[in-house]
Chains A and B, each alone.
Chain A
Amino acid sequence: MVTYDHYLEEPGSLEVEYFSTFGTQRGGNDFHSYWAEFEYGATAWWTTELYLDGQSTFNDSTIFTGFRWENRIRLLKGEHIVNPVLYAEYEQINEADKIIKEVEGHDVEADHAVPNAESRRGHNHEIELKLLLSSTHNGWNFAINPLAVKSLTGGDPWEFGYAVGTSRSLALKASANKCNFCRENFIAGIEMYGGLGDRYSFGLNETSHYLAPVIAWNLPSSWTLRLSPGFGLNDNSHQFLLRWGISREFSGFGATMARLLGGH
């Protein structure tokens, strides 16, 4: 859910996703944050995505918190033992954003205890870079994503973080009959992610970290459901994050749009 492998969206396909996170909050109100995601396979080596973020804080308010534009570019052709993908994201969000799509720098639980009316006044324009390193062996995928974030407006230093994860399909062989509940439609995994401080104070001091099992259910009808309960690993982390998402892939979306727009 947080860790990326090296697989991109198929060229010309659009995946539309709704994704949601419920988080517990000490010193404030629990929250429910969400995003809508539009992921398009521009080519076999480039996937581009737009995210629209929002959140509801209990006993507070519901607000739109901004957008992100993400790009993933495959650096090598073919499959290798380790497959690198460059990730570059531009974020224009306010400080009330709580989707916790990644953890960076000295992000801690207390950052999210500020009331929405106050936190939404602060704005972040950031560039986020990740190197997605991923390997698949005997049906297991292993991925590690080091990340670096730089604010484009303030004088904030580069901030760092990480995500690591592994996952596997519950069955490697496909069954002959069309089915929703076949084991090969389920992928299970576990991931860990957290902050690594910033340029001036690199390390684990005053950072938050999470461990989260993940399960995904790919339906033959191109729908996918994902569920992941996450657990904070230190006092700076939210104690519990429950993430879930639903997505639908539209194969051949690009060709359909091109036809509608009077193309081929």
Chain B
Amino acid sequence: MTANVWRRSIVGLAIMLAPGFSVAQNKPPKAADFMYAELAKVPKKAAARTNPFESDAEAPIAGAKLYGQHCGVCHGENAEGGKKGPSLRVSEVQQATPGTLFWLLTNGVVRKGMPVWSKLPDAQRWQLVTYIKSLGTGS
């Protein structure tokens, strides 16, 4: 009976992983344009929010640390874009208001692969915004 349960467990693992790989991997993010379009959909009130960490000298450093832990795997180590996430060094992102980026981090673009990041406290999301805005459009 135990062998039977093991066999079923292995079948269960295969069933679990098979759809996951296909769903997560068969969508190369040509969707960058869609992602940038999301910036324009942010509510005006949210977009107008100011970054309380804008003049905090440590915020970009802390933001870089958070970026490495949570964002780099999709958007690339240097935020130049990866297989799954668009570049954050483009003018669409760099010219967006801090409030816009904060809103997008908070709400994600769930149907297009960008998770909700509200599990990071507000302060850490603002630190991330400070870092992203500090990158500029250069490589």
Contact = CB atoms under 8 A, between A and B. Distances in A.
Interface of A: 5-8, 10-13, 38, 40-46, 48-50, 52, 63-64, 66-67, 69, 74, 77-79, 92, 94, 136, 138-139, 141, 169, 172-178, 184, 220, 251-252, 254-255, 257-258, 261, 263-264
Nearest to B61: A176
Nearest to A254: B24
Contacts of B124: 172-174, 184
A173 B69 contact: no
A77 B109 CA distance: 7
B8 interface: yes
A50 B110 CA distance: 23
Given A67-B9, A77-B111, A175-B62, A254 B123 contact: no
Given A11-B84, A176-B58, A254-B25, A44 B115 contact: yes
B77 to A, nearest CB: 12
Contact of B123 (A5, A45, A173, A263): A173
B110 A254 contact: no
Contact of B114 (A44, A139, A174, A261): A44
A42 B24 contact: yes
Contacts of A42: 19-20, 23-24
Contacts of B69: 220
Given A42-B19, A48-B19, A255 B84 contact: yes
A264 B113 contact: no
Given A64-B6, A69-B15, A79-B106, A254 B122 contact: no
Interface of B: 2, 5-6, 8-9, 12-13, 15-17, 19-21, 23-25, 28, 58, 61-63, 65-66, 69-70, 73-74, 83-84, 106-116, 118-119, 121-124, 127
A7 B116 contact: yes
B115 A8 contact: yes
A174 B122 CA distance: 11
Given A174-B124, A184-B124, A264-B25, A40 B20 contact: yes
A106 to B, nearest CB: 25
B110 A69 contact: no
A258 B123 contact: no
A40 B12 CA distance: 13
A79 B107 contact: yes
B9 A52 contact: yes
Contact of B25 (A45, A251, A255): A255
A92 B65 contact: no
Contacts of A6: 116
A43 B19 CA distance: 10
Contact of A7 (B23, B119, B127): B119
B34 to A, nearest CB: 13
Contacts of A184: 121, 124
Given A79-B108, A138-B122, A254-B20, 16 more contacts: A8-B115, A12-B24, A12-B25, A41-B24, A41-B115, A42-B23, A48-B19, A50-B13, A67-B12, A139-B121, A139-B122, A172-B123, A174-B123, A175-B58, A251-B73, A255-B84
